[in-house]
Chain A
Amino acid sequence: MSSPFAINGGACVAMVGKDCVAIACDLRLGLQSLTVSNNFPKIFSYGDVYLGLTGLATDVSTVSDLFRYKVNMYRLREERQISPQTMANLVSTSLYEKRFGPYFVSPVIAGINHKTGKPFICGFDSIGCIDFAKDFIVSGTASDQLFGTCEGLWEPDLEPEDLFETISQALLNAVDRDALSGWGAHVYIIEKDKVTKRLLKGRQD
């Protein structure tokens, strides 16, 4: 219970659909069993790329701020948006820089590659090892539960509307089985030239 990953709680999940990807997170911020805030989003956007961060809340803020800086500098230098794949490598190298004093976060990336039009998701451990996946990526204190719901609900080539339903049910039902996650959710459905963000109220108990 004193693991830095489990102090504040939180959950995040990303999924691939047909020409679309989805990423969702819960909104809880807690201190052990006490909930402090029910409005602490864990997904951050960097142009075309979305980054979900679960783990120690202070590092969620620190790491999201760090990548805002790094991606802004990338955009200014290169006069282009960063691609999801390049972002994945940037996240990996940045986390490994702190190999012997890591940020206690489990990042998730979702996006569509602007050039190829292909969906891309991946996850990381706290020191930057990339987990490429064709189907879904889970992270946070509800990751065990998310593995279960995702294995049960996900299927290949879901259309955006169906993908929204799938990822929402996967997240909502997983966080209801985790005391440290829940209290509302944000869901992003990312298509080629459209992103839809939805707020799910969820159970507030």
Chain B
Amino acid sequence: MLISDEATNGIVLATEKKSSSPLIDPPSLSKVSLVTPNIGMVYSGMGPDYRVLVDKARKVSHTGYKRIYNEYPPTRILVQDVARVMQEATQSGGVRPYGVSLLIAGWDDGVEPETQELADEGLETDAEKKKASGKTGGILKGGPSLYQVDPSGSYFPWKATAIGKSATSAKTFLEKRYKEDLELEDAVHIALLTLKETIEGEMNGETVEIGIVGAPANDLLGYEGVEGAVGPRFRKLSKEVRNSKGMTPFTMK
């Protein structure tokens, strides 16, 4: 079961990591993946199929876009590319459809002129900024967007949704909790509350995995002092990724 929630200044992807045995090392299990610096995704269904799709999504974001335009694909384009991969598996001979549903969350910079001189785009406390992106994002306006992709290859844009086991009840819960112009912090809170409704057993940093699309995380670049360099907007909120074990975080530029 996995839920996702869109705020004015970002998106949260939250999922329960269920392990079949207490002997499994939980941090090595990962359901939330980075696709491009501003796009992440998560799944419900068959894990191995998901890993294949993550590989293909990452690859197509380069071969089908970055190596042509020298920039990463907007969320909708990436979603369409992944959806095409899944659709083709329903119509080709000798293969079976992918056994997963996906939630893909991303941030687009948009192409319309900036209306007000925005203070640092990352600082989302700005009241005006909130109004500017009151609705969901998109290629023209920019901002956050969230898509669900099904094994058939159909995809839907959402403000908030859930997939997987007990998705129906989670969606009912989200319908009650979701408001326009949420802050990212609130969205994380709502996502965790929704998870809590359906989760069985303990709920902690080892059983829950969270990914967010928020302000650019320049600290994840791995370097500093380069003018114009912007950190990734997608990052995972889990203890092992940031700063533990003195690991240098891996990022893509």
- List of A residues within 8 angstroms of B69 by Cβ: 86, 89-90, 93
Q: Mark B126-162, 1 if CB is under 8 A from A, else 0.
A: 0000000000000110000000000000000000000
Please name all residues of chain A whose beta carbon is closer than 8 Å to the beta carbon of B80 when the two chains form the complex: 77
Q: A60-93: contact bitstring with B at CB < 8 Å (1 yes, 0 no)?
A: 0000000000000000011111010010011011
- Residues of A with C-beta under 8 A to B70: 86, 89, 92-93
Q: Which residue on chain B has the smallest CB distance to residue A77?
A: B77
CB-based contact A115/B140 at 8 Å: no
Known: A89-B70, A90-B69. A114 touches B113 (CB 8 A): yes
Given A89-B71, A93-B68, list of 9 further CB < 8 A pairs?
A89-B69, A93-B70, A114-B113, A115-B109, A115-B111, A115-B112, A115-B113, A116-B113, A117-B113
The reply to whether A115 and B68 form a contact with Cβ atoms under 8 Å apart is no
> Whose C-beta in chain B lies nearest to the C-beta of A94?
B68
Residues of A within 8 A of B112 (CB): 114-115
Interface size counted on chain B using CB atoms at 8 A: 16
Partner of B68, one of A79, A83, A90: A90
Collect the chain A residues with CB atoms within 8 Å of residue B67's CB.
Answer: 93
Minimum CB–CB distance from A89 to chain B (whole Å) comes to 4
Give chain A's interface residues, CB within 8 Å of chain B: 77-81, 83, 86, 89-90, 92-93, 114-117
Interface residue B114 (Cβ < 8 Å from any Cβ of A): yes
- List A contacts of B74 (CB < 8 A): 78
Chain B 165-199 near chain A by CB (<8 Å), digits 1 or 0: 00000000000000000000000000000000000
B222 within 8 A of A: no
Decide: A80 near B139, CB < 8 A? Known: A115-B112, A115-B113, A115-B114. Answer: yes
State which of A81, A86, A92, A116 has its C-beta within 8 Å of the C-beta of B71: A86
